[in-house]
Structure 1
């Protein structure tokens, strides 16, 4: 018989407790068991697939449940992976929230605005006073419990909401997309590039390409002030440490940075140079803090290049830089030789 009461009185309408032994998870659904206790290991039924995945009843893995398709809207050729016939950009329109007495007008494809979908609520645990914004009935402290990893041969004890610990979930894997050969370290079936798609920011209505719910500006704006300050300090400290570790002849002075920036324009696109770029990045690739590794660049090119090598970035902008900068040309030749040597070694 389903448990119909919890400490402090009767359950609210449609709210129930999982019937699995020793599980007190509360949720709003018609199932007798919570998602965790309905999860089963299954093998994809698609011929020649054989992927093993965990599911609550699906017969096919996510790759075959949500095939890549072309948007059915007239004039749209965007290809995406999902269960809808029309991509998110074509489904996003200006609309009014259907929640009673709301009246918010927003651009998106959801029937309710973000505030109505993620309201401020109090934790459903009777003795917890936590108030938070979200869609879950209980706060993190009451959803994350001490548990033992269910991985084969693993007895790690951790606090969280997943069945496996971080070590068992994280491994080197190949992207599950049929035409993608990226090998990466993580716990997702698809690489970062394949998870990106055309999206509409629910806060500002701007179209952007990514894998996050909000665009970068709105994501940053919604963070608490103390969190933004902590992230900025951590980034500044990490960059300062990289620059100190990369010095080969003492620190590069501010005057030298300004002189290199003043040599503009941007070597990659010809625009106004507002920043200085490290041709070989300091992070991940062993770049050095020296004038021979610094070139003038605009904010757009510097941010787009990020921590990538020249051989991994936009080749059109790289070829433009090759014609105007000897530093870029020398570094590009060095990276090509490293790439060729790596290919020969791998082949042997």
Structure 2
């Protein structure tokens, strides 16, 4: 195989410089630019399309601008949103139950404009031996005695354990309003 002869099994190499005109559009580092345009895809005639690296679909190039600065991205807006949501779910699931509860309740208290003092959900349930304060059943929920929507604070002194049935039937009612829904008969539990 010496002597500078070309190997018959391989085609001779072509120089990238000499064949540049045959290669067509070059893909950018942000994703492959499609070689065709689709008239009327996003209301614009002749808008260029890019291929998303995550879903593999051709979409308008405007779907590949990310963030407030509208920087080019290699993933379409829909895939970036789905990936961000997946990250949030995994992160939230990795937290301890008490930390998840604290973050959720802190946000709810802020939404209602009431005070929030961190407390341990596990300790409240353990103190009451996981018994519902309304019916004595197995408590899996914590209930605000004075609902957040009525100005009740998100503090340990306003929290009692409740079973799912009692907590969901009470909802945002005060104890008096909730008791009135039972009528003259005692509650059905």
> What is the TM-score when the length of structure 1 is the normalising length?
0.21
Q: Relative to total residues, which structure has the larger helix share, 1 or 2?
A: 2
Structure showing greater relative contact order (alpha-carbon pairs closer than 8 Å, 6 or more residues apart):
2
> What is the TM-score when the length of structure 2 is the normalising length?
0.37
| Structure having the higher Rg | 2
Q: Relative to total residues, which structure has the larger strand share, 1 or 2?
A: 1
